[in-house]
Amino acid sequence: MSILQVISDSRVPKVTCSLVDSSGSERDILTISLQDNGIHVHKTLEKEDHYIIPPIPQIGSLIKEVIEEVAEELNAKAIVFRYGEESREEVDDLILSEAWYDLERLALAASKHAALSGDFETKVILGIVKFSASVYAATAIRKEDTFPLFQIFMDSSSGVPLIKVYNELGQLVEERRESVDDFETYVKDMVSSEDVAVVYGDSEVGFPSPKEITLEDGSRYYVGVIFKYFLGFFPSSSVKEVSSRRLLVKNKGKLVRTLRALLYVEKLGKDEGVEIVMSSHAIPLNLLPEELNRLTNRVTRSLKKRGLSYDLKEVLEDPYVEELRNYRPEYGSGEVYLGIRVIPVGFVIVTKSKEEFEQVTSRIANGPTNDGAEILDELVKKSVSGYFIGYLMSLKEALIIYSDITSELMKGDK
């Protein structure tokens, strides 16, 4: 039986893996490194294999997934993690160097990966990524080149967006704060040629990059807020009821406690943890913007008491939330009044390290185990209605499911 040994370098964004057999013989089989066009994965199993993955904000989860896939492929008995420079100590789990968490470097690499993946007969290919709720990046490349004409990084997490522009040599040539209404238009205006093709990267996964906050006493925190939703349907006797009736969430405290336990997130204490804020009612879609405004105000007050300032405008300015501001349910005569209801659930994450922040967001993203999912589904149904799904989803997912179900009902004339 063999063991997969994982060594994470504490100085640079590089992870190497070797296979150690029962006799102690060691063979290098995997190297993962961050370069300017993505995450390079080199495998040396039966034959050499090399591929490039676009970075995502949850970088640790992505790298661990690659490692676990290789471990499964090799039928390794166990995975041993080590971290450091020369004296690499054994650790309980994967630890990455700070270089892996350079948000700007990750975003620019993701945008270059997108640009190089484009296959267009145009003079310039423009790779654009929305890396997180507040971070964008773009890379412009000539069709015949592999090095960029320029790269742009934008971070709008703190008021007026911070813009950084890099030249073809990767040198920072401009840094300023400027209001930007549309990032794509802004970047296109910097390209001299009109023969441009745009490739959109897919790094944005619905979870925030942490905002780093340093208090007067020197304490440093990483803060982020995620909103997820429980979705359900409720047969109504009138259109008015579809757009106005709220459903009480019974035993909300028990639901919150169970959710925290199933996701393995600690309650927000003196220094760090996760506060879960949940609506007391399942509400119609047209009332969601108003309810989110109420919940975000509650979150802002809670963080302010801790001396932490966090702008939640990304939640309220989400394109799907904006669409709902003018949404009104419409049904013709004789159609079923099957109104959608959602329960907004906010996760307020406060940690003292980027690594811990990522681990928490990953647990929220992955959701409970299969057994835990069954427990959650049963409890949500008991707390609200049997027409509800005990699965935490994004607002986009909720709207897609609603659209699919109502479309099927309309096709069947039900």
At 82, the pLDDT band (50, 70, 90 cuts) reads very high
Query: 12-19: long-range contacts (C-beta < 8 A, 24 or more apart)?
Result: 12/97, 12/99, 13/96, 13/97, 13/99, 13/100, 13/102, 15/63, 15/67, 15/94, 15/96, 17/67, 17/70, 19/74, 19/76
The predicted pLDDT at position 35 comes to 95
Helices (H), 206-333: 239-244, 252-263, 288-305, 313-316, 319-324
Residue 322 has pLDDT above 90, yes or no: no
pLDDT computed for residue 406 by the predictor: 65
**Mean of all residue pLDDT scores within the chain:** 86
Whether pLDDT at 72 is above 90: no
Mean pLDDT value of segment 302-331:
78
Q: Label residue 349 by pLDDT band (50, 70, 90).
A: very high
Give 214 or 275, the one with higher predicted confidence.
275
pLDDT at 355: 81
Per-residue model confidence as pLDDT tens digits over 225-283:
999 999 998 777 676 777 788 889 999 999 999 999 999 999 988 889 999 999 999 99
pLDDT score of 215? 85
pTM reported for the whole predicted model: 0.63
Question: Which pLDDT score is estimated for 414?
Answer: 42
Higher pLDDT, 89 or 329: 89
**Mean pLDDT over residues 26-31, rounded?**
91
Whether the per-residue pLDDT at 299 is higher than 90: the answer is: yes
Structure tokens of 86? Answer: 């020369």
